[in-house]
Amino acid sequence: MSTLSETLPVIDLDVFLSQPTQSIRVQEECNKAADALITYGALLVHDSRVSEKDNDTFLDLIEDYFAQPMEDLQKDERPDIHYQVGVTLENTEKPKCAVDEPCLDIIANLDPAERPLDVSGHHPDPKCRFFWKMGTPPPYETEFPALNAPNVVPQAPGISEKWEFTMEKWGHSMKNAVENIAEMTAIGLGLPREFIKDAGKYGPHLLGPTASDLVKYGKKDTILAGFHTDLNCLTIHGRSRYPGLNIWARNTGKRIPVRFPPTGRYLLVQAGKQIEHLTGGLIKAGFHEVVVNEATLQVVERRKESHPNRPNIRISSTFFWHLSSDFELVPIPKLSERAHAFNPSQTANKHMTYERMKVGQQVQNELKHIALMA
């Protein structure tokens, strides 16, 4: 099986951070980043600032958190603010694609061998999630206070003492990397360097690990997170200990099992709905799913031997980077024109219109689709 570096472009943040913006090498790397998101909807990032130790510490903490009894986890639920901070327990969030006609059209147009596992039953995902807000509060009164709520800190002994430090440390590693990718993408699209980053200056960014109990939901072909796109601007992933994440390349419609290179400081970035809207569809939000496959089961067995005292819980190391809730989301005309000229092999929703709206309204619209908001 190939690794992501053999199937997706690798963007070198070290080049971007160490050389002048106007240098040919940086300009080439920025063009490569924008082209990767246009062509694939995803890219791999190499960033020497990223520490695997920080990711491991983070994964250990989240495993321990989700190994708690259900009644302890329920204390951290905040359904009154649409689960936008704290925990979302299993069988709450529904994959939007199951009832979304353009999404179902995309699945129908895929080669049968490349299609995701069935989502048509519209059963809620068995995964849990924790949202830890990592945005800067806006210095003005926001129209969307529920999307900018204060964080929830778990109270369990052994977890509460190290929670904030661990979440902030790993979260900032991914936030720094994805904001640099936002800058590089802007340059590659012919926009001012700070355009996308500034649009997300007061975004309600979320460190949002998911947790799937592989004892309870460890049967082969179990859908842990149904086929979907992310509603935010850019999503960045660190390594998970268990395989199972599949992404779809926009240009080929091929399913790509996410498998990081065995060594090296890499992160995976996917485009979300906000950057699709901003670019008028020139960049499309990337589809993905998380399932239990043969590779997942092999790692489960290996970890039972190598780490017999650790929980068998699949944690995703995921950060959702948002545009600011009060930012006016409207397609950039010159990018919309490029989108109309762009003709990839799959364009099931190429005639989609992107109406002017505040980002907070776009988020609320998407939350209704996935059953987190009434």
**pLDDT in the model for residue 16:** 98
Catalogue the long-range contacts made by 68-73 (C-beta closer than 8 Å, 24 or more residues apart): 68/156, 68/159, 72/156, 73/128
**pLDDT in the model for residue 348:** 44
**pLDDT in the model for residue 3:** 59
| Residue 347: pLDDT over 80 | no
| Residue 5: pLDDT over 70 | no
**pLDDT in the model for residue 87:** 94
- Taking all residues of the chain, what is their mean pLDDT, rounded to a whole number? 89
- Global pTM value: 0.91
Residue labelled with tokens 């399913």: 255
Task: Report percent pLDDT > 90 for the chain.
Answer: 68
Residue 114's pLDDT band, with cuts at 50, 70 and 90, is: confident
Pairing relationship of beta strands 10-12 and 42-46 according to DSSP bridges: parallel
Pairing relationship of beta strands 245-248 and 288-291 according to DSSP bridges: antiparallel
Query: Is 183:193 a contact under the CB 8 Å cutoff?
Result: yes
Pairing relationship of beta strands 255-257 and 10-12 according to DSSP bridges: unpaired
**pLDDT in the model for residue 352:** 76
**pLDDT in the model for residue 349:** 47
Q: Is 341 buried (19+), middle (13-18) or exposed (0-12) by CB count in 10 A? A: exposed
Query: Is 369:98 a contact under the CB 8 Å cutoff?
Result: no
In terms of Cα–Cα distance, which of 267, 274, 272 is closest to 288?
A: 272
**Opening angle at CA 86, ends 83 and 90, nearest 5:** 65
**pLDDT in the model for residue 209:** 96
| Residue 345: pLDDT over 80 | no
**Regarding predicted confidence, which is higher, 275 or 4?**
275
Q: Which residues contact 61 (CB under 8 A, 6 or more apart)?
A: 159, 162, 163, 166, 167
**pLDDT in the model for residue 95:** 67
- The full length of the chain comes to 374
* Segment 149-162, tens digit of pLDDT: 789 999 999 999 99
**Regarding predicted confidence, which is higher, 258 or 58?**
58
| Residue 146: pLDDT over 70 | no
**pLDDT in the model for residue 351:** 54
Average pLDDT over residues 260-280: 92
CA dist., res. 135 & res. 143, Å (int): 16
Average pLDDT over residues 32-51: 95
In terms of Cα–Cα distance, which of 304, 303, 362, 302 is closest to 330?
A: 362
Q: Is 24 buried (19+), middle (13-18) or exposed (0-12) by CB count in 10 A? A: exposed
| Residue 373: pLDDT over 70 | no
**pLDDT in the model for residue 22:** 95
Of 33-42, 249-258, 329-338, 365-374, least confident by mean pLDDT is 365-374
* Segment 51-98, tens digit of pLDDT: 999 999 999 999 999 999 999 999 999 988 878 899 999 887 776 666
**pLDDT in the model for residue 98:** 62
**pLDDT in the model for residue 363:** 87
| Greatest pairwise CA separation for the chain in angstroms | 57
Query: Is 248:254 a contact under the CB 8 Å cutoff?
Result: yes
Query: Is 233:202 a contact under the CB 8 Å cutoff?
Result: no
| Residue 372: pLDDT over 70 | no
Looking from the CA of 4 toward its CB, the CA atoms found within 13 Å total: 32
**Regarding predicted confidence, which is higher, 121 or 282?**
282
| Residue 285: pLDDT over 90 | yes
